[in-house]
Structure 1
């Protein structure tokens, strides 16, 4: 029989708790799922259970260690929920062979945010904290695209033509938050639970800095956040100005918005 079938069976046995339990109590249900020879079937059913559980727990611990490091604040805020959801993520989304560490960590953040948003037993801002940590984590990794998009911040500001199509650079992430997430993060980093939770809508930008795993993080106002959100590399400056003037119900913003776009380009946030 194919050696790969044996390997696939063992990988699932090591990483899937439910499959491992079924294999122990009813091996006749799991063995037919793989093209194993009689000798291979006998070998896998004779694996020592205690050793198997120890090895499986070790694999899970190593896989989740990086997750818990990058979502430590969520772990402090909702430890019981964090234990539950990290275990669920591990079972539902086994690591893909060619997936990067960044992809795995960001995927977990997306999963955690969605799970916490529907969890009535956690604070209402827990999902936003998970989003903050996801964006912070993503911006900590170097950009993956090696093109003109990847530049150091600090380029001189200049006028951006109306026909240009500005786009957010690689390594830059941003999100809109309903709560004062900056204060919540500061409290948790000092091992304190937030005492005052205020609804303070705003946008936060996370920018990768070359040679650092800790991104630059700063807040922008609602208008700048909305402006950044419109810079998708498809809309022209002219259409961005028109769209934002419509959103804000204010006319005559062209000069101010072009200046704001140039400033963000000088910071390495946008490319035109």
Structure 2
């Protein structure tokens, strides 16, 4: 078994609390399930629970720090609930690759949207902030040239209140947010208010025309 495989197993043990408990209780069974040989299992089993738990916590704290940098507004809007939600999420996903922090943050926004929408524990204004930052992260990912999302509050007011460390100021203004760019060009955005009672569906062509007309 290669060193990289052993390191991958260690990474799983450090980031998955159930797997970590199983390994510390019965390292032979877990080690064999990952294809480790007897020598590798014996080497890993020398790690104490205290060592493993301490390193696992430090890894999660490091991930949390990176997530906070990428989701500063959501972190501020959620306040003390941000950390517990992240630790709950961290048990479900392990990022890999060159953009692992970005992918981690994107996956966390998906988790938050599903969790908070289901629990209905946060005001819609907080979800608007989360949706806004989720779009910005996906823009950095570079896979798409167009994003469209619906918001229920005036985003600029929400964002400015968070930037000034003031309480979140929700100003109701349903709108559609559009972000788009042509290849090798900068992102442009457009926010179009609409009536909740009389919703209008805009095609992308009409949105771009309206955007260009007001420039």
- Provide TM-score, normalisation by structure 1: 0.63
In structure 2, C-alpha distance between the alignment counterparts of 1:104 and 1:32, rounded to whole Å: 29
Q: Tell me the residue number matched to 1:246.
A: none
Higher RCO (Cα < 8 Å, 6 or more apart): 1
In structure 2, C-alpha distance between the alignment counterparts of 1:142 and 1:266, rounded to whole Å: 29
In structure 2, C-alpha distance between the alignment counterparts of 1:11 and 1:20, rounded to whole Å: 10
The answer to whether the aligner puts 1:193 opposite 2:167 as a matched pair is: yes
Q: Tell me the residue number matched to 1:119.
A: 119
In structure 1, C-alpha distance between the alignment counterparts of 2:36 and 2:159, rounded to whole Å: 51
Compared with structure 1, are the counterparts of its residues 35 and 126 closer, same or farther at alpha carbon in structure 2 (3 Å cutoff)? Answer: same
Q: Tell me the residue number matched to 1:12.
A: 12
Q: Contact 2:147 / 2:179 at 8 angstroms: preserved in 1?
A: yes
- Provide TM-score, normalisation by structure 2: 0.77
* C-alpha deviation, 1:136, in angstroms: 2.3
Which consecutive residues of structure 1, in runs of 5 or more, have no partner in the other structure?
A: 145-169, 232-236, 238-256
Compared with structure 1, are the counterparts of its residues 122 and 263 closer, same or farther at alpha carbon in structure 2 (3 Å cutoff)? Answer: closer
In structure 2, C-alpha distance between the alignment counterparts of 1:41 and 1:264, rounded to whole Å: 62
* C-alpha deviation, 1:92, in angstroms: 0.6
Q: Tell me the residue number matched to 2:192.
A: 220
Q: Kindly tell me the number of residue pairs found equivalent between the two proteins.
A: 210
Q: Tell me the residue number matched to 1:150.
A: none
Q: 1:205 aligns with which of 161, 178, 191?
A: 178
Q: How does 1:31-110 map onto structure 2 within 5 Å?
A: 31-97=31-97, 101-110=101-110
Deviations 1:164-218 (A, max 9, x none): xxxxxx54423111223332222112112224x3432112234579898xx6554
Aligned CA-pair RMSD? 3.4
Q: Contact 1:110 / 1:131 at 8 angstroms: preserved in 2?
A: no
Q: Contact 1:117 / 1:124 at 8 angstroms: preserved in 2?
A: no
* C-alpha deviation, 1:44, in angstroms: 0.8
* C-alpha deviation, 1:69, in angstroms: 1.4
Q: Tell me the residue number matched to 2:153.
A: 179
Compared with structure 1, are the counterparts of its residues 5 and 137 closer, same or farther at alpha carbon in structure 2 (3 Å cutoff)? Answer: closer
In structure 1, C-alpha distance between the alignment counterparts of 2:209 and 2:153, rounded to whole Å: 29
Q: Tell me the residue number matched to 1:151.
A: none
Q: Contact 1:174 / 1:203 at 8 angstroms: preserved in 2?
A: yes
Q: Tell me the residue number matched to 1:149.
A: none
Deviations 1:105-143 (A, max 9, x none): 32322221121112233223322221111112333x274
Q: Contact 1:89 / 1:111 at 8 angstroms: preserved in 2?
A: yes
Q: If you compute each CA radius of gyration, which structure gives the higher value, 1 or 2?
A: 1
Which consecutive residues of structure 2, in runs of 5 or more, have no partner in the other structure?
A: none
Q: Which structure dedicates a bigger proportion of its chain to helix?
A: 2
Corresponding residue SS for 1:125? helix
Q: Contact 2:177 / 2:192 at 8 angstroms: preserved in 1?
A: yes
Q: How does 1:141-152 map onto structure 2 within 5 Å?
A: 141=140, 143-144=142-143
